[in-house]
Structure 1
Amino acid sequence: MSIIVFPAIDLKGGQVVRLAEGDMDRATVYGDDPSAQAQLFAEAGAQHLHVVDLDGAFAGEAVNRSAVEAIIKSFPGYLQLGGGIRTREAVEGWFNLGVARVVIGTAALTDPEFVRDMARAYEGGIVVAVDARDGMVATHGWADVSDVPVADMARRFEDAGVASLLFTDVGRDGLLKGCNIDATVALARTTDIPVIASGGVKGLDDIHLLSLHAEDGIEGVITGRALYDGRLDLATAIAMASR
């Protein structure tokens, strides 16, 4: 079985950036043309793209809308978008513009019924972000940490019809420490919902190890800094994930 490799484009002030542990004050800028970056990923063979409006995650509404719209126009594959999407109007608006899947994080904790409603309205289109610090769910752009364990959060949506869970170990994100494969696989084994791994991917070993657990429910992996720093070749990663 194969898994999906999602190259990531994180947006802050209209620029392509990567954060360290979700800290907006620890941003590295990798470019000022997000649509061109999306095209490069497509040329390398990416059929899926993960985009995050980082400013939107803190504001609770779209901030980098023009950049996202430019990416939608330039990327021919499936675009998965997250960051501050907390209302029905926001969800509907992005689907109408051509986004394939919408990632809901904070609202999944604060308003689970909203997620259920959207999952019913957009079958296969809703991804729930389960972001964790020390095993507990983090919200509001990872600035706050709840008292809800990751596994409990996942189980809340097992019968809701969500497409996937996006699991990020915030303590590893953007640090190239390696993906927390044990925690990701453990989550996948405790739920019937497919899991996308995120946070800390540093090279092909992470892609290979995650692909070995496709049958455990690992659907894909998101990678960002390793691509931008040249530690991971996207075409090679996609080929390995497809074996």
Structure 2
Amino acid sequence: MGRSRVIFFPAIDIKNGKCIRLEKGSLEKLKVYNHNPIDQALEFEKMGCEWIHIVDIDGAFNGTPFNHDVIFEIKKKCSCKIQVGGGIRNIETVEKFFKNSIDRIIIGTAAIKDPNFVKIACENFPKKIAIGIDTKQKMVASEGWSETSSLSSKDLIKRMQHFGVSVFIFTDIDRDGLLKGMNFEEIIDVLKSTNTKIIASGGVTTLQDLKNLKKLNYKNLDGVISGKAIYERRFKVEDAIRILK
């Protein structure tokens, strides 16, 4: 039997203190959805969300967090659990986030370029470190999605899973923000390649996508992230949570 429940993670991407969405990770295709990410987080809390997925877009592109004050304020005002990624590339940054009560941090670029940092982070903060696996044409991308490595998602999972990573967050960048459906073939490949928990992301468009994901019935499918579909009101967050229960 699979998991009884899949967690729904609404996404808040923050650039220059505003809540935005990109298409395929490109800054050229940026749309502002809310000038106040704190208000947005509180809306998600009201809708019944247990977790919120936050990405510091400036951090992802520049290699160091930029919007952390807004993120810490969200955590203070909102009862949801928070996972954060974007520019987290050294242990001091990790410590700063956890000192400010962030529940989980996501390491992306540094997982490819500095595996030892991941190892140390997992040792120091067990069950609190996620690895972001963002793929373009099946290869893992980094540096704000501007570089593509020679690693597949399965290669990166193999390298990372023995460090004690709590969850892998798989995103198909080629579909992200396009509202064209999820890459189920690759999601299934990733789920089969490890016993570690997986959160799927990229291309969520309809409630049917969520139903199909739940039907996969993999024990290690922990959650799904949705951004643009919620902001464009393709479905209600409350309905998504209900379907995934």
Query: What TM-score, normalized to structure 2?
Result: 0.97
Percent of counterpart pairs with the same letter? 38
Q: Match for residue 160 of structure 2?
A: 157
Distance in structure 1 (CA, Å) of the matches to 2:225 and 2:152 = 22
**Residues 25 and 145 of structure 2 are in contact (CA less than 8 Å); yes or no, is this contact kept in structure 1?**
yes
Distance in structure 2 (CA, Å) of the matches to 1:211 and 1:106 = 29
Q: Match for residue 211 of structure 2?
A: 208
Distance in structure 2 (CA, Å) of the matches to 1:160 and 1:89 = 19
Q: Match for residue 6 of structure 1?
A: 9
Q: CA deviation at 1:74?
A: 2.1
Q: Which moved more, 1:210-219 or 1:140-149?
A: 210-219
Letter in 1 for 2:182: C
User: Over residues 130-160 of structure 1, what are the superposed CA-to-partner deviations in whole Å (9 max), with x where a residue is unaligned?
Assistant: 1101110100110110111111111111211
Question: Is 1:82 aligned to 2:49, yes or no?
Answer: no
Q: Match for residue 197 of structure 2?
A: 194
Question: Is 1:133 aligned to 2:136, yes or no?
Answer: yes
Question: Is 1:142 aligned to 2:137, yes or no?
Answer: no
Question: Is 1:224 aligned to 2:236, yes or no?
Answer: no
Q: CA deviation at 1:59?
A: 1.0
Q: Match for residue 65 of structure 1?
A: 68
User: Over residues 137-191 of structure 1, what are the superposed CA-to-partner deviations in whole Å (9 max), with x where a residue is unaligned?
Assistant: 1001101101111111111112111111000000000001111122112111111
Q: CA deviation at 1:216?
A: 4.5
Structure 1 segment 91-110 matched on structure 2, within 5 A: 91-110=94-113
Q: CA deviation at 1:66?
A: 2.1
Q: Match for residue 167 of structure 1?
A: 170
Distance in structure 1 (CA, Å) of the matches to 2:152 and 2:78 = 36
Change over 3 Å in CA distance of 1:27–1:118 after alignment to 2? same
Tell me the SS of whatever aligns to 2:230.
helix
RMSD: 0.9
Distance in structure 1 (CA, Å) of the matches to 2:116 and 2:217 = 29
Distance in structure 1 (CA, Å) of the matches to 2:59 and 2:42 = 23
Letter in 2 for 1:213: L
Tell me the SS of whatever aligns to 1:146.
strand
User: Over residues 9-42 of structure 1, what are the superposed CA-to-partner deviations in whole Å (9 max), with x where a residue is unaligned?
Assistant: 0001111000000001110100111000000000
Letter in 1 for 2:106: V
Letter in 1 for 2:233: G
Tell me the SS of whatever aligns to 1:5.
strand
